[in-house]
Amino acid sequence: MKTLLAFSIPLLLISLVWSGYLEYDQDVLIPQDWTRVGRVDPTEELELTFALKQQNVHLLEEKLKLVSDPDSAQYGKHLTLEEVASLVHPSELTQKVVRHWLHSHGITNCLTIRTQDFLQCKMTAEVAEMLLPGSRFHRYVRDSHSIVRSSAPYSVHDDVHQHLDFVGGLHRLPPKGQDLSKKPQQHKAGLHLGVTPAVLRTRYNLTAADVGSTQNNSQAVAQFLEQYYHPADLAEFMNMFGRTFQHLSQVDRVVGTQGAGKAGLEASLDVEYIMSTGANISTWVFTNPGRHESQEPFLQWMVLLSNMSDLPWVHTISYGDDEDSLSTAYMMRINTEFMKAGVRGISLLFASGDSGAGCKHMGKQQNSFRPSFPASSPYVTTVGGTSFKNPFKVTYEVTDYISGGGFSNVFGMPDYQASAVKGYLKTVEATLPPPSYFNTSGRAYPDMAALSDNYWVVSNRVPIPWVSGTSASTPVVGGMLSLINGQRLLKGLPTLGFLNPRLYKLKGQALFDVTEGCHLSCLDEQVQGKGFCAAPSWDPVTGWGTPNYPALLAALLAE
């Protein structure tokens, strides 16, 4: 079996059948920050990704529920990658039809993965445009980055479309990264001037003894959007801020190729803080610049998870897109990939975003809130953000106004959160935004939160203050879950895996409830920039609240 190394994210929407072909992506929207510079030479090599229809996705979902529910007799009985592959691999007919279709166009240079549900194939642009009628490949540039995409809808013969979820590498353009900096506030003498590992460990009650101590435990961050960390920055950060607790100053494994450019602020933040709360735990970095202009790194990372049997137990990812910029077919398939990770005992944590409730501007029509994906996926744990009530003291926490949160317009509310969310909607009914702004029956997020405001980061050998975003809170929570996994493994217990069913059954136990503050949304007459507000128990700004580590450890160590 060959190993598949890189993939592309698509944007795919099945719209109609005509003349024996099924058309995808009737409206291809190119973001304004990308500039088209011309058609690709017909002989230029592209790499496209074919997502083959999987079997037994409903059984996979049922299995995930059973192994993630602490009240189930199957709780913690996770599957191996081989068992996952035997459950979901495409049928023989699907594999035969897709391969015959590719071979009929002279495409034979393809790689597959262990679950057999993705193919990555190389071909010239001319062949790709013949394979996918309607597609026209152009080169686009933004800043110093260059990618190849098709600006037009494409079609697939209807004999083939029933065997494919999507073809990747045609339409999806990477979103622009978040601005992680906030304006510095006035300093006050004698008080802490920003969040450091020591501040986090004080606030969340981590002692010097709360560090990793088991060999079979590991954690990971994933980097996209040309983001790289520098080992020298990590060593300098730990020298400055890690002296009060045992820690590691090096990443154990880099999967992918680190770029040669400057360190990215987000990459530095992720690595430095997951290794501060998840101290002394083996840490991996998945770095996915994309080996080819027709690749998109997020799906490359997702597929790598399906091709590696030995993986870290906790992954934190600070990456997302507007839900309405992605097709339902694409998001449903990515959800299946998340389920494949969850049934293996892997915890996936995603940042909730830094745009509050978001806003979709509708022109003359009424605006609406704009949820983010993968934050809105029912199969990941989504982390929001908080600030200290007094930004210069270790006090209680309030909402960080940028904290992403809301209700999916695509995915229904999962059973595990229905009671909590309905309780919130009832409690704050009188002060909710107008119902036309959000979907009360959708998957609600975030699930929990942590401090996301005014962090110190070392990047390119320079200490940088006032770095903010849920890109900070997510690795902080991930590191603590890694510590808890370590303690579970020492007791002979399985890893936490997909956390949400167990988290919601705690009903806020072992977390600091955040009850003050609102996040931002549409600047219009109706809501005037205010989205949802924090409230007792769960809310769509900070979830269940922030971790009280010793209490959370005790709650999640119970068998």
How many Å separate Cα 225 from the centre of its chain?
Answer: 13
Whether 377 sits among the annotated catalytic residues: the reply is no
Of residues 282, 294, 471, 482, which has the active-site annotation?
Answer: 471
Of residues 23, 47, 69, 270, which has the active-site annotation?
Answer: 270
DSSP code per residue over 65-97: HHHH-TTSTTTT-PPPHHHHHHHHPPPHHHHHH
Whether 459 sits among the annotated catalytic residues: the reply is no
State the number of CA atoms in the 13 A half-sphere of 394 facing the CB.
12
* Three-state secondary structure of 263-285: CCHHHHHHHHHHHHHCCCCEEEE
Of residues 47, 266, 321, 400, which has the active-site annotation?
Answer: 266
252 contacts 220 by C-beta, under 8 angstroms: no
Q: Are strands 154-157 and 145-150 parallel, antiparallel or unpaired?
A: unpaired
Whether 266 sits among the annotated catalytic residues: the reply is yes
Identify the burial level of 464 via C-beta atoms within 10 angstroms of its C-beta, where 0-12 means exposed, 13-18 middle and 19 or more buried: middle
Identify the burial level of 198 via C-beta atoms within 10 angstroms of its C-beta, where 0-12 means exposed, 13-18 middle and 19 or more buried: middle
Distances (CA, A) of 294 to 6, 124, 421: 10, 11, 41
436-440 — which CB contacts under 8 Å span 24+ positions? 436/366, 436/368, 437/357, 437/366, 437/367, 437/368, 437/369, 437/521, 437/522, 437/526, 437/527, 438/357, 438/368, 438/369, 438/406, 438/407, 439/407, 439/408, 439/409, 440/407
Which residues does the annotation mark as catalytic? Answer: 266, 270, 471
